[in-house]
Structure 1
Amino acid sequence: MATSFDTTLSKLGISRTTSGVTATTKKSAETLDQSSFLKLMTAQMKNQDPFAPVDNTQMVAQMAQFSSLAGISEMSTTLKAIQDKLGAGTTADAVSYVGRTVLTAGNTAYGRTGGGIAGAVELAGDASKVLVTISDANGQTLKSLSLGAQPQGTASYDWDGTTDDGADAGSGPFTVTVTAQKNGMTVPSTNLAWAPVQSVSTATGTTMLTVAGLGTIPAANVRQIG
């Protein structure tokens, strides 16, 4: 036996099946959408018995869910547009690295045109003594730089390219070793070297830089761009 709810659906051209409520059109049956649901609720309110009004609590709750879904859908579309925009800029941003020098973690450094190298030490804690040792390709020590006491963070250094004996050390490549201590205990430290970017790749979805002497590194590992 048809109910008043079924009658209201029929007036709107909507049929209810055992699998749920679906909207029917001349071409095909479609799932009841927000617009149809609103029409249904309005029609039901117009045709209800004033002495026995229909409880619209569930219908209103369903409408609220439709509104939430619509909001989420719009947000998803907006985020997709932002993602596409950022994706389009990724390649251009990556290419801008080529030919520039970057400061990143590494123990290999090449000499500057004017001689020597610049770098930095990243300290995980306060240190009472920080020593930077620069060696040639054969492992022979060329220069030892004492940075003294340094607080947690990053401490820069600059080497003029002359050995402890005052000779010209050449253009490298050089190997840089850092030791840091506090009260006789080792403080975790990382050397940061300046190196030129030779090429970039975004094939994996992550910008990867090929850096002279340091190999391939993620762009996210770059501390500074020169």
Structure 2
Amino acid sequence: MDVTQTQTPAAAASGGAATATSGSGAPALSSDFETFLRMLTVQMQNQDPLNPVESSDFAVQLAQFSSVEQQVRTNDILSSLGDRLGALGMGQLLGWVGMTARAEMPVVFDGAPVPVNLSTEPGATEARLVVRDQNGATVQTLQVPLEGGEFDWAGVGDNGAPLPNGTYTLATESYSGESLLASTPVIQSAEILEARNTSGGTRLVLDNGQEIKADEVISLRNSV
């Protein structure tokens, strides 16, 4: 007796899907709707005549295929949009290279006085500049003008001896009597040498050895 081997609907669909996607990837899934129709045809031809697939099942498969197809197209559009926005951002930042940026940042000391800008709180009766090293230890505290403004930090400790070269964090502490009103990082100006697009966002490389985020820039001006 001849025995005709039948293929279940799931197996037929699985085989058709493998043919449709192998070697072509997501783009084929989003564009080859005719492949899906051929898959349905093969599935119908190989179904068990004693247990045929319900028409509602075909409708479900069609809806699932359409949903996946739409999701793939959406992902492609979002990816393309992200690439375009990234390129646009970098194109705009190219104009920043060579300009002087002002931002709150640590100070790189190399033995020469470092110009900074101090910000103090209104109503303060005393202002102190507090200097901390890379370990967070306070290495200098000195009184500064209440009005704040431009200030040249000489890079010396409380004992008057020059501090070692390195990176220091400077902040202006405003006091009313013995009460601390605010602690504000100093502002520095530096020329932008390079703009880098990183996973954490766009970063700017400055001529003072610092690297900051683009959104940390307070102001820009043409370098003299």
Under a length normalisation based on structure 2, what TM-score does the superposition of the two structures give? Answer: 0.52
Offset, 1:202: 1.8
State the Cα RMSD in Å.
4.8
1:225 matched residue in structure 2: 220
Give me the whole-angstrom Cα distance separating, in 1, the residues matched to 2:65 and 2:84.
Answer: 29
Secondary structure, in 3 states, of the residue corresponding to 2:54? coil
Tell me if the contact between 1:101 and 1:195 (Cα under 8 Å) persists in the aligned partners.
yes
Give me the whole-angstrom Cα distance separating, in 1, the residues matched to 2:178 and 2:207.
Answer: 35
Within-5 A mapping of 1:6-45: 20-22=14-16, 29-30=19-20, 34-38=33-37
Within-5 A mapping of 1:79-158: 79-106=78-105, 108=107, 120=119, 129=124, 132-133=127-128, 143-145=144-146, 158=149
Tell me if the contact between 1:98 and 1:200 (Cα under 8 Å) persists in the aligned partners.
yes
Change (3 A) 1:23 1:70: closer
Offset, 1:42: 8.5
Tell me if the contact between 1:199 and 1:210 (Cα under 8 Å) persists in the aligned partners.
yes
Give me the whole-angstrom Cα distance separating, in 2, the residues matched to 1:59 and 1:192.
Answer: 68
Tell me if the contact between 1:105 and 1:191 (Cα under 8 Å) persists in the aligned partners.
yes
Tell me if the contact between 2:102 and 2:219 (Cα under 8 Å) persists in the aligned partners.
yes
Offset from partner CA, 1:89-125 (integer Å, 9 cap, x none): 34333322223333322355966xxxxx75646x9xx
Offset from partner CA, 1:7-32 (integer Å, 9 cap, x none): xx9xxxxxx967933279xxxx5459
Offset from partner CA, 1:41-99 (integer Å, 9 cap, x none): 68999xxxxxx995223222221221111111111221222222223334333322223
1:153 matched residue in structure 2: none
Change (3 A) 1:53 1:106: closer
Gaps of 5+ in 2: 22-28, 45-50, 108-112, 131-139, 156-169
Give me the whole-angstrom Cα distance separating, in 2, the residues matched to 1:18 and 1:74.
Answer: 26
Under a length normalisation based on structure 1, what TM-score does the superposition of the two structures give? Answer: 0.51
Change (3 A) 1:133 1:74: same
2:192 matched residue in structure 1: 198
Offset, 1:144: 1.4
Give me the whole-angstrom Cα distance separating, in 1, the residues matched to 2:87 and 2:33.
Answer: 35
Tell me if the contact between 1:103 and 1:119 (Cα under 8 Å) persists in the aligned partners.
no
Q: Which amino acid aligns with 1:80?
A: S
Tell me if the contact between 2:90 and 2:197 (Cα under 8 Å) persists in the aligned partners.
no
How many residues are treated as equivalent by the alignment?
A: 174
Tell me which protein shows more helix as a share of its residues: 2
Give me the whole-angstrom Cα distance separating, in 2, the residues matched to 1:86 and 1:110.
Answer: 37
Q: Percent identity?
A: 20
Tell me if the contact between 2:172 and 2:184 (Cα under 8 Å) persists in the aligned partners.
yes
2:202 matched residue in structure 1: 207
Tell me if the contact between 1:131 and 1:178 (Cα under 8 Å) persists in the aligned partners.
no
Give me the whole-angstrom Cα distance separating, in 2, the residues matched to 1:140 and 1:185.
Answer: 16
